[in-house]
């Protein structure tokens, strides 16, 4: 998932042709494979993927995430890689990723993210180019068929027509990989940004599978806003399982900008159907979808609402995941129980004592590791044999976040305990600012008020509040200082543009960096029947940027809308989705598509675009919204 877009509501999924069981080609003799529409290990044991997506391509130093994902209960991890659209993951780097998967007893689903949105998103590459990347790192993959599934390309086609089409391009990619000697199970993603709302993958899956001479192909659908009802989820899954076609829901979340996916049904249905699911994603999301982080800032001790839902909720990892048998060596594979939350005492400027409730083990606990936790980094401070430790050589006036692992003689390590935060005495104190708040989102816009919300910040001690500011050039005016991550702004001027941003602050007076801005124009006086539009820059890079515009209807239903603005700094639009753009110089008018023009009272929709800028100023323009 790099970007998902608003789509037409999917109708109840029904097959266009008669449902028949599909007879599969001969299977490879070794490694993970597909048998009778199910993923199995080399020994024939069913392999039901229960895992988490990890953005390795963008956060290559977050290698501790593999252990933390395993500790969360996963039996697999889907790893984001790049062949050049972002920093290239070389053969040696991929070999290390596979080693991390094996060390942590995870099945490794490797995906090339460079293909995301091909035909619609600038910079995306074809499946043919993705195959070139896999061939270039084949040395790291050969011999790993028991541990690695090769996901050719993430969300390989957007919503635009491309040549060759998804079916032909996917067949060709599979055949090229087989001709190059790859024996791995191959995973293929659906078009339409992975969501297959056009049912292209659903209806052409048998012919794609037939193109694989080994029969080792599994299909992957990504379920976001298109799959917002139980009927849609159930029908789509049934359309594959009824034909003995292997399927994985290898990306989904509990919310998204294009709608509210039915995660409860997704998790329940994949469990009853005996197929895989993999949640997006461990951490590191941006561009307004930070709520899809399962943990904050790669810290496993700071799980989000989505993280708790996927990991410990109904049909979650903790109850449905089974470790692959390839990792069951016959010895002691049972880890000790999680140690109790540590308790600190005898705190001085340079030392402290720590104790915790002891762990138990089926054979015996041999010791503990006391670690200092700083984001995703852990540093072992002591390794006592019993459930207490004396920590010395600490810095004065410094905060330490501490946790404990238990271990046994076979090398099994428990899940990490809860953390305790302790500050040594003496000079120093908290100097760490909170993280940057998420880009604010405006709603309920009237002529004199609006509501603002944003993704909450985190802090090493604790966030105590926020400052909502109006930005005008280099001038900032505080409009509200709420304690939580939302605010109601009143007393505003009608028909006036407000550029808003947010700071987070903590008890020590540390203030975060400023969030990205959102531009909102209040309605004209008494204009409750009109519409409003808000503009937010969701991503920015040298020479390019992405923006999202949210259109909110007034108090009466509408059948169409238009948003107009004029860029002031030479910006241009290179591609737009979920709206039709008419440009005249720097002026733009974005009009609704056929599927998102009808809005109920106070309902919202959104469109987005990618553009260019001058690398100096990228000011948020004033928007005018009209509707009929």
Cβ(115)–Cβ(153) below 8 Å: yes
Enumerate the active-site residues. Answer: 155, 251
User: For the sheet containing 365-374, what is the strand order?
Assistant: 377-382, 365-374, 399-408, 420-423
Average pLDDT of span 208-219: 95
Q: Which of 2-11, 238-247, 304-313 has the lowest mean pLDDT?
A: 2-11
Decide: 73 and 311 in contact? Cβ < 8 Å: yes
Greater confidence, 621 or 474? 621
Rounded (10°) CA dihedral 451, 456, 461, 462:
30
The backbone torsions φ and ψ at residue 22, rounded to the nearest 5 degrees and listed phi first, read: -105, 130
> pLDDT grade, residue 6 (50/70/90)?
very low
Q: Predicted confidence band at 385 (pLDDT cuts at 50, 70, 90)?
A: confident
Measure the CA–CA gap between 612 and 608, rounded to whole angstroms.
14
Cβ atoms of residues 420 and 343 within 8 Å: yes
Q: What pLDDT, on the 0 to 100 scale, is given for residue 526? A: 39
Residue 587 has pLDDT above 80, yes or no: yes
Give pLDDT, residue 627: 87
Question: Exposed, middle or buried by CB within 10 Å (0-12, 13-18, 19+), for 443?
Answer: middle
Q: Which residue has the higher pLDDT, 190 or 444?
A: 190
φ/ψ of residue 303, rounded to 5: -75, 145
Please give the Cα distance from 600 to 627 (Å, whole number).
Answer: 12
33-318: CATH topology is TIM Barrel (3.20.20)
pLDDT tens by residue, 163-206: 999 999 999 999 999 999 999 999 999 999 999 999 999 999 99
pTM of the predicted protein model: 0.55
Task: Kindly list the domain boundaries of the chain, sorted by start residue.
Answer: 33-318, 343-423, 441-627
Q: Confirm if 76 and 43 have CB atoms less than 8 A apart.
A: no
Written out in words, the top-level CATH class of the domain with range 441-627 is mainly beta
Q: What angle do CA 530, 532, 535 make, to 5 degrees?
A: 165
Instruction: For the chain, count helices (H), then strands (E).
Output: 10, 34
Task: Give the C-alpha separation, 341 to 417, whole Å.
Answer: 6
Query: Is residue 16 scored above 60 in pLDDT?
Result: no
Proportion of the chain above pLDDT 90, given as a percent: 53
In this predicted structure, what is the pLDDT of residue 376?
61
> Which CATH architecture describes the domain 343-423?
Sandwich (2.60)
Q: Do domains 343-423 and 441-627 have the same CATH topology?
A: yes
What are the tens digits of pLDDT across the range 414-441? 888 999 999 888 765 677 889 999 989 8
Query: Mean pLDDT lowest for which of 183-197, 279-293, 589-603?
Result: 589-603
For 199-267, give the secondary structure using H, E and C. CHHHHHHHHHHHCCCCCCEEEEEEECCCCCCHHHHHHHHHHHHCCCCCEEEEEECCCECCECCCHHHHH
At residue 411, the pLDDT reads 62
Q: What is the pLDDT of residue 388?
A: 94
* H, E, C per residue of 163-218: CCCHHHHHHHHHHHHHHCCCCCEEEEECCCCCCCCCCHHHHHHHHHHHCCCCCCEE
How far is the C-alpha of 427 from the C-alpha of 422, rounded, in Å?
14
> pLDDT per residue over 331-372, tens digit each?
667 888 999 999 999 998 888 999 999 999 887 888 888 988
- To the nearest whole percent, how much of the chain has pLDDT over 70? 92
| Residues in CB range of 427: below 8 A, 6 or more apart | 396, 397
Please report which confidence band the pLDDT of residue 529 belongs to, taking 50, 70 and 90 as the band edges.
low
Overall average pLDDT of the 52-74 stretch = 95
């Amino acid at each position: 998932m790099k970007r998902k877009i608003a789509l037409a509501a999917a109708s109840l999924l029904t097959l266009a042709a008669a449902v028949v069981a599909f007879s599969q080609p001969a299977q490879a003799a070794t490694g993970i494979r597909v048998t009778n529409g199910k993923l199995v290990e080399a020994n024939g044991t069913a392999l039901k993927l229960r895992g988490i997506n990890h953005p390795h391509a963008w956060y290559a130093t977050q290698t501790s995430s593999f252990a933390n994902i395993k500790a969360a209960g996963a039996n697999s991890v889907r790893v984001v890689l790049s062949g050049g659209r972002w920093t290239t993951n070389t053969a040696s780097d991929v070999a290390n990723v596979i080693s991390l998967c094996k060390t942590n007893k995870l099945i490794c689903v490797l995906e090339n993210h460079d293909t995301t949105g091909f035909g619609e998103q600038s910079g995306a590459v074809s499946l043919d180019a993705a195959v070139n990347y896999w061939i270039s790192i084949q040395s790291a993959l050969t011999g790993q068929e028991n541990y690695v599934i090769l996901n050719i390309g993430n969300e390989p086609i957007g919503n635009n027509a491309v040549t060759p089409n998804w079916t032909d391009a996917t067949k060709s990619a599979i055949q090229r990989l087989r001709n190059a000697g790859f024996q791995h199970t191959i995973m293929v993603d659906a078009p339409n940004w992975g969501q297959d709302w056009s049912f292209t993958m659903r209806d052409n899956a048998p012919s794609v599978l037939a193109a694989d001479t080994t029969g080792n192909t599994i299909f992957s659908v990504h379920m976001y806003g298109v799959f917002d009802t139980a009927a849609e989820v159930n029908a789509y899954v049934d359309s594959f399982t009824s034909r003995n076609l292997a399927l994985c829901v290898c990306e989904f979340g509990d919310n998204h900008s294009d709608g509210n996916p039915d995660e409860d049904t997704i998790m329940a249905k994949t469990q009853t159907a005996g197929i895989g699911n993999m949640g997006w994603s461990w951490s590191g999301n941006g561009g307004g979808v930070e709520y899809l982080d399962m943990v904050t800032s790669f810290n496993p001790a700071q799980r989000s609402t989505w993280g708790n839902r996927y990991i410990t909720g109904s049909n979650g990892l903790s109850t449905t995941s089974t470790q692959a048998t390839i990792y069951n060596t016959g010895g002691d594979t049972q880890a000790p129980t999680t140690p109790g939350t540590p308790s600190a005492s005898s705190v001085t400027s340079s030392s402290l004592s720590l104790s915790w409730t002891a762990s138990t083990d089926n054979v015996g606990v041999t010791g503990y590791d006391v670690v200092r936790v700083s984001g995703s980094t852990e540093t072992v401070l002591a390794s006592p044999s019993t459930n207490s430790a004396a920590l010395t050589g600490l810095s004065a006036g410094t905060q330490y976040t501490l946790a404990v692992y238990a271990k046994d003689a076979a090398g099994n390590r428990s899940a990490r305990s809860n953390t305790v935060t302790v500050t040594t005495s003496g000079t120093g104190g908290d100097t760490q600012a909170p993280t940057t708040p998420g880009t604010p989102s405006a709603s309920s816009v009237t002529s004199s008020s609006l509501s603002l919300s944003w993704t909450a910040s985190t802090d090493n001690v604790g966030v105590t509040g926020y400052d909502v500011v109006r930005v005008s050039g280099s001038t900032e005016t505080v409009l509200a200082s709420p304690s939580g991550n939302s605010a109601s702004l009143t007393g505003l001027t009608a028909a006036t543009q407000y550029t808003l941003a947010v700071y987070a602050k903590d008890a020590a007076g540390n203030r975060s960096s400023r969030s990205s801005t959102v531009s909102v124009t209040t309605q004209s006086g008494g204009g409750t029947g009109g519409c409003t539009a808000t503009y937010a820059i969701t991503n920015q890079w040298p020479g390019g940027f992405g923006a999202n515009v949210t259109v909110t209807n007034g108090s009466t239903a509408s059948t169409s809308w238009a948003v107009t603005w004029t860029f002031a700094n030479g910006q241009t639009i290179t591609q737009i989705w979920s709206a039709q753009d008419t440009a005249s110089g720097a002026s733009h008018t974005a009009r609704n598509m056929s599927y998102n023009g009808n809005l109920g009272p106070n309902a919202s929709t959104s469109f987005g675009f990618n553009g260019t800028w001058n690398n100096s100023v990228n000011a948020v323009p004033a928007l005018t919204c009209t509707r009929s």
